[in-house]
């Protein structure tokens, strides 16, 4: 192994303490995988309401932390714990005016809340007398830590020589706010080309100032360099093109394992898929569909957001349910934008004997859908990494995906699933038809595709090795120059 790297890992979400999406999974899993490679990783997140109200195993640290802002010193508290199943320390910045609220995001002062959090996380390293080799910050919320470290922070010898890595999980959310935030952070600076007059874009600043930048799949890393995929920041990203990398997320094989998943009625593994058939029947019964063993059971589990390709779904489900590829069943689990919920509710009401729509968030049902369906749909318009297809493959449901971002990197056509490139109904439908054809007439090839998916390695260990390499490059760059 390379020498142990001391990493300050800061994120607005860290599962299981706080999670709204993939960012939380990364926050909860990647530090553990890095620690298993021998690194000294310490995680910092805000103390949201659930922590302030008392979370099992989370203790207050003695004393207070004085955070120096450009407008004066603000004291806060710190709680501490460890990531479950590890001894990786987690620190929680406790400032109840800012973080003890019902939701994690969505407030008028979000930029201030997370700028404060970012600065407190850096300050904490002094209180712990633990100087990191590297700061790893995630998405716009923690970009201010990168910006401050590269600018005002360089006036303090403690913060000199610390490398930084900025990870983009979703370029769609950038954290735009007004210029005064820099007074608060004690930063004097000039505007970037990507910022409107008087405006600060947290994400743009993180990209600009980080030693290294990465996103969560190699294909998404290339796509964000283009005007189509760059969400207005492609110019800045191209400026840093040589420092923008892509590292796939992993999945947590301890919680996502068909052999031991407690949410499944029947367990199975690659050596014997017969119990899968039982899950399939259980799913059909649960969904109130006829229990049939030989019709393709097609499914989707997703946030109902335009990003997920739902504008293609209506037409494709219509063709599928009207028998254009013979008999088929369809189950969707999802919640989100009202017009997509209405679309699925209406289609389900036409096709009661073939289709069921569960329009809610149901973490207990999702595993049964992965374990009981034959084909899993993910026709995303863009997808930074995507978790759904990874879980589907591991549970033996064959994905049909649009070849974009992480979907392009993880689903290989006719080997681990089926993919299409052009974002239109015909291409999607042809890919689904190919899958149904093989399912119906070539069981042997189908079985191979299923097993290839189940055995593919998308572990966090693999991701952590990628991050280790990126950390080493960032440190070499900082120390060398």
In the set 363, 441, 480, 481, which binds ligand ADP (CB under 6 A)?
A: 363
Q: Which is nearer to ligand ADP, 284 or 380 (CB)?
A: 380
Q: Strand pairing of 72-82 and 89-94?
A: antiparallel
Q: How far is the CB of 432 from ligand ADP (least distance, A)?
A: 19
Q: How far is the CB of 11 from ligand ADP (least distance, A)?
A: 15
Is 301 one of the binding residues for ligand ADP (CB under 6 A)? yes
* Segment interacting with ligand ADP, rule: CB under 6 A, options 8-16, 69-77, 264-272, 361-369: 361-369
User: Scanning residues 168 to 187, which ones bind ligand ADP (CB under 6 A)?
Assistant: none
Is 303 one of the binding residues for ligand ADP (CB under 6 A)? yes
255: nearest Cα among 246, 245, 264: 264
Angstrom distances, CA of residue 151 to CA of 148, 190, 365, 480:
5, 11, 48, 18
Q: Which is nearer to ligand ADP, 173 or 222 (CB)?
A: 173
Backbone φ, ψ for residue 439 (5° rounding): -60, -45
CA–CA gap between residue 420 and residue 125 (Å, rounded): 48
H helices present in 287-386, as ranges: 310-321, 338-350, 366-372
Q: Which is nearer to ligand ADP, 344 or 418 (CB)?
A: 344
Q: How far is the CB of 76 from ligand ADP (least distance, A)?
A: 30
* Segment interacting with ligand ADP, rule: CB under 6 A, options 42-50, 231-239, 298-306, 424-432: 298-306
* Segment interacting with ligand ADP, rule: CB under 6 A, options 71-79, 102-110, 190-198, 295-303: 295-303
Q: Which residue is nearest to ligand ADP, using beta carbons?
A: 387
217: nearest Cα among 77, 416, 22: 22
Q: Which is nearer to ligand ADP, 22 or 89 (CB)?
A: 22
Q: Which is nearer to ligand ADP, 205 or 308 (CB)?
A: 308
Q: Which is nearer to ligand ADP, 119 or 251 (CB)?
A: 251
Is 362 one of the binding residues for ligand ADP (CB under 6 A)? yes
CA–CA gap between residue 384 and residue 230 (Å, rounded): 12
Is 368 one of the binding residues for ligand ADP (CB under 6 A)? no
Q: Which is nearer to ligand ADP, 77 or 265 (CB)?
A: 265
Is 310 one of the binding residues for ligand ADP (CB under 6 A)? no
Task: State whether residue 63 is helix, strand or coil.
Answer: coil
In the set 335, 461, 465, 478, which binds ligand ADP (CB under 6 A)?
A: 335
42: nearest Cα among 2, 79, 88, 83: 88
In the set 302, 356, 397, 463, which binds ligand ADP (CB under 6 A)?
A: 302
Q: How far is the CB of 373 from ligand ADP (least distance, A)?
A: 12
* Segment interacting with ligand ADP, rule: CB under 6 A, options 56-64, 236-244, 301-309, 470-478: 301-309
Is 366 one of the binding residues for ligand ADP (CB under 6 A)? yes
Q: How far is the CB of 157 from ligand ADP (least distance, A)?
A: 40
Q: Pull the structure tokens for residue 352.
A: 């009661």
Q: What is the dihedral of CA 469, 481, 6, 250, to 10 degrees?
A: -30
In the set 361, 422, 442, 477, which binds ligand ADP (CB under 6 A)?
A: 361
CA–CA gap between residue 116 and residue 81 (Å, rounded): 21
Is 332 one of the binding residues for ligand ADP (CB under 6 A)? no
* Segment interacting with ligand ADP, rule: CB under 6 A, options 230-238, 271-279, 299-307, 426-434: 299-307
Q: Strand pairing of 398-402 and 297-304?
A: unpaired
For residues 182 and 119, is the Cβ–Cβ distance under 8 A? no
Is 387 one of the binding residues for ligand ADP (CB under 6 A)? yes
For residues 248 and 409, is the Cβ–Cβ distance under 8 A? yes
In the set 168, 187, 333, 454, which binds ligand ADP (CB under 6 A)?
A: 333
User: Scanning residues 19 to 48, which ones bind ligand ADP (CB under 6 A)?
Assistant: 21-22
Is 283 one of the binding residues for ligand ADP (CB under 6 A)? no
| Nearby residues of 96 by Cβ (< 8 Å), 6 or more positions away | 47, 52
Whether cis (ω within 30° of 0) applies to the bond prior to 16 is: yes
Task: State whether residue 232 is helix, strand or coil.
Answer: coil
Q: Which is nearer to ligand ADP, 4 or 265 (CB)?
A: 265
For residues 463 and 247, is the Cβ–Cβ distance under 8 A? yes
DSSP 22-53: HHHHHHHHHHHHHHHTT-EEEEEEE--HHHHT
CA–CA gap between residue 446 and residue 396 (Å, rounded): 10
For residues 52 and 110, is the Cβ–Cβ distance under 8 A? no
In the set 206, 388, 399, 405, which binds ligand ADP (CB under 6 A)?
A: 388
Is 18 one of the binding residues for ligand ADP (CB under 6 A)? no
Element holding 399 (H helix, E strand)? strand 398-402
For residues 164 and 209, is the Cβ–Cβ distance under 8 A? yes
Q: Pull the structure tokens for residue 58.
A: 């989370």
Summarize as ranges the residues that interact with ligand ADP (CB under 6 A): 21-22, 301-303, 333-335, 361-363, 366, 386-388, 391
């Amino acid at each position: 192994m390379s020498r142990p790297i001391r990493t300050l890992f800061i994120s607005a979400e860290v599962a299981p303490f706080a999670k709204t999406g993939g960012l939380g999974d990364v926050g909860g899993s990647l530090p553990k995988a890095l620690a298993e490679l021998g690194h000294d990783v310490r995680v910092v997140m805000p103390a949201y309401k659930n922590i302030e109200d008392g979370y099992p195993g989370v203790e207050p640290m003695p004393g207070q932390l004085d955070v120096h802002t450009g407008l004066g010193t603000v004291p806060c508290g710190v709680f501490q714990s460890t990531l479950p199943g590890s001894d990786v320390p987690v620190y929680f910045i406790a400032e109840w005016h800012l973080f003890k609220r019902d939701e994690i995001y969505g407030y008028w002062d979000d930029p201030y809340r997370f700028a404060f959090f970012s600065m407190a996380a850096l300050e904490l390293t002094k209180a712990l007398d633990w100087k990191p080799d590297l700061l790893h910050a995630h998405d716009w919320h923690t970009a201010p830590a990168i910006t401050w470290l590269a600018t005002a922070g360089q006036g303090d010898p403690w913060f000199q020589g610390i490398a930084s890595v900025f990870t983009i999980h979703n370029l769609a959310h950038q954290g735009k706010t007004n210029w005064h935030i820099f007074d608060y952070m004690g930063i004097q600076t000039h505007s970037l080309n990507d910022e409107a007059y008087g405006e600060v874009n947290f994400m743009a600043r993180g990209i600009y100032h980080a030693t290294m930048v990465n996103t969560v799949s190699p294909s998404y890393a290339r796509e964000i360099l283009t005007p189509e995929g760059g969400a207005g920041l492609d110019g800045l990203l191209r400026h840093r093109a040589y420092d923008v990398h892509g590292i796939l997320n992993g999945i947590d094989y301890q919680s996502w394992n068909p052999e031991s998943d407690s949410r499944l009625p029947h367990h199975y593994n690659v050596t014997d898929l017969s119990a899968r058939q039982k899950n399939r029947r259980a799913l059909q019964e649960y969904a109130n569909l006829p229990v049939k063993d030989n019709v393709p059971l097609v499914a989707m589990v997703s946030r109902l957001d335009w990003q997920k390709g739902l504008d293609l779904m209506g037409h494709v489900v219509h063709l599928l349910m009207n028998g254009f590829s013979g008999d088929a069943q369809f189950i969707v689990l999802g919640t989100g934008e009202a017009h997509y919920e209405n679309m699925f509710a209406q289609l389900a009401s036409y096709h009661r004997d073939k289709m069921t729509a569960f329009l809610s968030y149901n973490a207990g049902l999702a595993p049964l859908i992965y374990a009981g369906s034959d084909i899993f749909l993910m026709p995303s318009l863009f997808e930074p990494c995507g978790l759904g297809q990874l879980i589907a493959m591991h549970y033996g449901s064959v994905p049909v995906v649009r070849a974009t971002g992480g979907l392009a990197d993880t689903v290989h056509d006719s080997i681990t699933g089926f993919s299409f490139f052009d974002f239109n109904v015909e291409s999607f439908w042809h890919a689904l038809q190919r899958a149904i054809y093989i399912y119906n007439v070539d069981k042997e090839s189908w079985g191979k595709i299923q097993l290839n998916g189940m055995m593919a390695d998308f572990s966090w260990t693999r991701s952590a090795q990628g991050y280790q390499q990126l950390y080493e490059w960032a440190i070499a760059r900082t120390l060398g120059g």
